[in-house]
Amino acid sequence: MTGWLQPHRIVLAGLGLALAVWCALTLRWGWLPEYTPLLLEGLWRTIWLLVVTVVLGMALAIPLGLAQAAGPWYLAQPALWFCTIIRGTPLLLQLWLLYYGLGSLFPQYPWIRQSELWPILRQAWPYAVLALTLSFAGYEGEIMRGAFKGVPRGQLEAAKAMGMPRWTMLRRIWLPQAISRALPTLGGETVLQLKATPLVATITVVDIYAVSNRVRQDTFIVYEPLLLLAVIYMAITGIIVLAFRHLEQRVPTRRA
Amino acid sequence: MRLTLLAAAASLVLAGAAAAQEVKVGIAAEPYPPFSSPDASGNWTGWEIEIIGAVCAAAQLDCVITPVAWDGIIPALTSGQIDMIMNSMSITEDRKQTIDFSDKYYKTPALVATAKGLGITPDAAGMSGRILGVQSATTHADYAAKHFADAAAEIKLYQTQDEAFQDLAAGRIDATQADSIAIDAFLASETGQACCEAVGAVADDPEILGAGVGVGLRKGDAELLAKINAAIAQVLADGTYEKISAPYFASPIYGN
Amino acid sequence: MQALIDALGLGPTLELLALSPPGWGGNLLRGLVNSIQIALGAFGLGLVIGTLGAYGKLYGGPVLRDLLAIYTTVVRAVPELILILILYYAATDALNKALIGAGFERVQISGFAAGIAVLGIVQGAYATEVLRGAILAVPSGQIEAARAMGMPPLLLARRITLPAMLAFALPGLANLWLIATKDTALLAVVGFGELTLETRQAAGATKHYFTFFIAAGILYLALTLLSTRVFGWIERWARRGEPRIGGAGR
């Protein structure tokens, strides 16, 4: 704690506090009360999108990484192509390709509108979830590949020598160690995923960025909503970083 | 190395400054037929583009067409990235608090287009339980928020009107409200003819829908405002307006 | 060849993508060139800011280090889209207000320069961390020996630190370059005419969404693969003369 009490830090903290108070008093915040329900709804949608796509993306990334690390060529190659294509093209393009590209096919196949899936295909959030999940899986698949390869071979060979079935070895030895190896990078990638969520506003999903746009259109106030948005994103990032640091401390590692 | 970097940075800024004699006319960076749309060679064409040319010639200004995202076009004007907005921006009291307007150069009603056979009428009763799509930062978005927000199941905000039409054709939204000419142009196209129909104009609300379309200028830019007003009057008086409008519109759109 | 194209039903698609009007391929390529130019400018600016930032974080005083830490943390925590919007409008606004306050004429910053500045500032924060890690990896004995010899700091940086740290920095810098090329797509949201916006306009004008988005995806992918190959060559050049680490791992 002594590090925080050095004179220059105190001055900087004081300046920062003064800046925050000045912003709170002089900038225009009159729009806040009216838009708070909408802001909370947008915040909920952002967090929900982040959590769902990270979980689904990891679920997809583990087989992708495993296929590339240990799989036969007919599984490894498509996994490699998938990761390369996802990492080689912008997320915005993938998002628009899925939403508007698939949307342009709907008029040509009228039977889609009668099908069971129509209520889901009609809305925008399934496309957002799909695009963000595929994007996360593409980047994570590459990271999991390295993590799987990084687990010491000796442990896997010992398990095989003991006669452990392959699935049990994966579940008990390979996967947990690979995930704990990848944990620091996973934290960074989750933050990157959070920073990718504003893009869904371009396909009409109302996340918190879309709400700030709405405030801007209604009130013509440009900077204050964006500043509030920046603060909110920084707060969520801080929470994610702390959560992952807590997770990393719970993993027992032998430090050399 | 630092000197060359400083020189490069200075020349970038000065290059912008040297060209400050020209007037940047902001238009939306999206196809908005028949007013403005990009063609395959990268040029912008359309009725409004030709009117811009005529007005600038009459005011003896060196105008440069500068595409900007529509939902950021007013901040772009107030922050100085463009000098005027001339892309079907309606004159409303709300907008007048942030920017100045020239005299109007056309006025058309707002129509609602829907998928064929849905039986929607352009009022709150007809919109009940329906999904309505509008372009954000337009008078139509404000109108829908005021009149249809309670009745409609959902109001989706799109970045461009073109995307709203696309989703209307795909069946993701039931109806869209937009300028009558834009809707006519969409319904005349192949996609529009196959999927959709116009169901009439919405009840007028001059406070929201505005008193016609004018050129947007920064507040206090009186000199440019006077030049533009004089040029618009001249274009209307000497027959250039009719000459440009004739190939596009069967009847005059100046309105009363 | 023509028969194969017709058999696959790709005739109208290739017409749409033709390089000269009425095909939209020329527009897409122009957008790609714009994207590459912005990415190059942003990457270069990011490298400059990153070098200054890395040196500041390593050798600067406590205040400078804290300020740089605030800069890198804020930029890495706030989404690029928000940063682009804030900087795109606020920077021009602030600059013009300052100029008018000082009595000068309002200056117009082209969208091009604004895009490079914005993305460059974002890249600079990441580059600071990459370069800082790379400089730390340079064996300190070499730097100490040069200082003992009385080498002036600038010469030390130019002759010893920067060449040695290049090999360590290149993987991170290659990643940053790829991020820069993909971040240019975000400028489509502010309406700057790079590849993603041109694609959206072409798709909107012709209603052939799939065709154009897939074509743009192929262009981006080609750019990525080419960049990865080029960075591989640069890394091999930077590591020239280093002993080969053979047989690592089982």
> In this structure, which long-range contacts are made by residues C132-140, counting pairs with CB atoms below 8 Å and at least 24 apart in sequence?
C132/C53, C132/C54, C132/C57, C132/C58, C133/C168, C133/C169, C133/C172, C134/C165, C134/C166, C134/C168, C134/C169, C134/C172, C135/C54, C135/C55, C135/C58, C135/C161, C135/C165, C136/C58, C137/C165, C137/C168, C138/C164, C138/C165, C138/C168, C139/C164
Find the mean pLDDT for residues B93-107: 90
- Give the pLDDT of residue A81: 93
Structure confidence at residue C36 (pLDDT): 94
Extract the tokens encoding B129: 């339980």
Q: How far apart are CA C31 and CA C183, in angstroms?
A: 14
Q: 146-205 in C: which are within 8 Å (CB) of B?
A: 189-191, 193, 197, 200-202, 204-205
What digits encode the pLDDT tens for the residues B223-241? 999 999 999 999 988 888 8
Q: What is the C-alpha separation between C247 and C224, in angstroms, rounded?
A: 29
* Class of domain A38-250 (CATH, top level): mainly alpha
Sign of the alpha-carbon dihedral angle for C151, C152, C158, C160? positive
d(CA B28, CA C237): 46
For the stretch C28-57, pLDDT in tens is 898 999 999 999 999 999 999 999 999 999
Q: For residue C91, name the pLDDT band (cuts at 50, 70, 90).
A: confident
B33 or C106, higher pLDDT:
B33
For C149-162, what is the mean pLDDT?
Answer: 89
The minimum CA-CA distance between C75 and chain A, rounded to whole Å, is 9
3 state DSSP class of B154: strand
Q: How far is C245 from chain B (nearest CA, A)?
A: 36
- Taking the Cβ of residue A108 and every Cβ of chain B, the question of whether any pair is shorter than 8 Å is answered with no
> CB distance B194–A107 less than 8 Å?
yes
Structure confidence at residue C249 as a pLDDT band (50, 70, 90): very low
Are A107 and B169 in contact (CB < 8 Å)?
Answer: yes
Q: Across the interface, do A222 and B159 touch by the CB < 8 Å criterion?
A: no
Q: Is C178 on the interface with A (CB under 8 A)?
A: yes
pLDDT at B20 over 50: no
- Residue A115 sits at the chain B interface (C-beta within 8 Å): no
C82–A230 CB contact, under 8 Å: yes
Interface test mutation site (partner B, options C15, C52, C97, C201, max chain B beta carbons within 10 A)? C201
Give the chains touching C; criterion: ≥3 Cβ pairs < 8 Å.
Answer: A, B
Residue of C nearest to B165 (CA): C204
Chain C residues inside the 8 Å CB shell of B67: 191, 193
Distance CA C125, CA C47 (A): 10
Interface test with C, best of A92, A99, A190 (most C CBs within 10 A): A92
* A221, B94 contact by CB (below 8 A): no
**pLDDT category of residue C247 using cuts at 50, 70 and 90:** very low
So what's the ipTM on this one? 0.84
pLDDT at C85 over 90: no
Domain boundaries, chain A: 38-250
Q: Best mutation site among A28, A112, A118, A220 for testing chain B: the one with the most B CBs within 10 Å?
A: A220
Radius of gyration from C-alpha coordinates of chain C: 23
The rounded percent of chain C whose pLDDT value lies above 70 is 94
Angle at the Cα of B66 (from B63 to B72), degrees rounded to 5?
130
How high is the pLDDT of residue A207? 92
Q: Would the pLDDT of C160 be above 90?
A: no
Cβ C227 vs Cβ C176: under 8 Å: no
C20, C107, C189 ranked by CB distance to B13: nearest? C107
Q: Which residues are within 8 A (CB) of A204 and not within 5 positions of it... i.e. 6 or more apart? A: A124, A210, B133, B156, B157, B158
pLDDT at residue C229 greater than cutoff 90? yes
Find which of A98, A204, A213 to mutate to test the B interface (most B CBs within 10 Å of its CB): A204
Which residues of chain A neighbour C213 with C-beta distances below 8 Å? 93, 96-97, 100-101
- Alpha helices per DSSP H over C60-186: 62-77, 80-101, 111-137, 140-148, 153-156, 162-183
Instruction: Note the pLDDT of residue B18.
Output: 43
CB environment A196-227: b (16+ within 10 A), e (fewer): bbbbbbbbbbbbbbbbbbbbbbbbbbbbbbbb
Among A89, A100, A237, beta carbon nearest to C220:
A89
Q: Does C208 touch chain A (CB under 8 A)?
A: yes
pLDDT for the residue numbered A136: 94
Determine the residue of chain B that is closest to A215 in CA distance: B137
What angle, rounded to 10 degrees, do the helices at C111-137 and B2-18 form?
170
Q: Is the pLDDT of residue B205 over 50?
A: yes
Q: Pick B21 or A23 by higher pLDDT.
A: A23
Inter-residue contact B49 to B36 (CB < 8 Å) = yes
Amino acid at B15: A
- Domain residue spans in chain C? 34-191
Distance CA B70, CA B89 (A): 10
Separation CA B109–CA B138 (nearest Å):
14
The reported pLDDT for the residue numbered B200 is: 87
Class at the top of the CATH hierarchy for domain C34-191: mainly alpha
Owner of token pair 């009609």: A122
Within 10 A of A161 (CB to CB), how many other CB atoms are there? 8
In chain B, the domains with their CATH numbers are: 19-107+211-245 (3.40.190.10), 110-208 (3.40.190.10)
Of B15, B41, B75, the CB nearest to C89: B75
Cα–Cα distance for residue pair C43/C122, rounded to 1 Å? 10
On whether any CB of chain B is under 8 Å from the CB of A222, the answer is yes
Contact B29 C191 (CB under 8 A): yes
Nearest-CA distance C241 → chain A (Å) = 27
Q: Nearest chain C residue to A100 by CA: give it.
A: C209
**What parts of chain A have a pLDDT lower than 50?**
none
| B196-201 and B110-115 strand pairing | antiparallel
The token pair that represents B23 in the structure block: 């007037």
This prediction has a pTM of 0.87
Query: In this complex, do A90 and C85 lie within 8 Å of one another by their Cβ atoms?
Result: no
Could you say which residues from 134 to 193 on chain A have a Cβ atom under 8 Å away from some Cβ of chain C? 153, 191
Whether the per-residue pLDDT at B179 is higher than 80: the answer is yes
What mean pLDDT, rounded, does chain C reach?
85
Q: Nearest-CA residue of chain A relative to B145? A: A218
Chain C residues near residue B37 by CB distance under 8 angstroms: 205
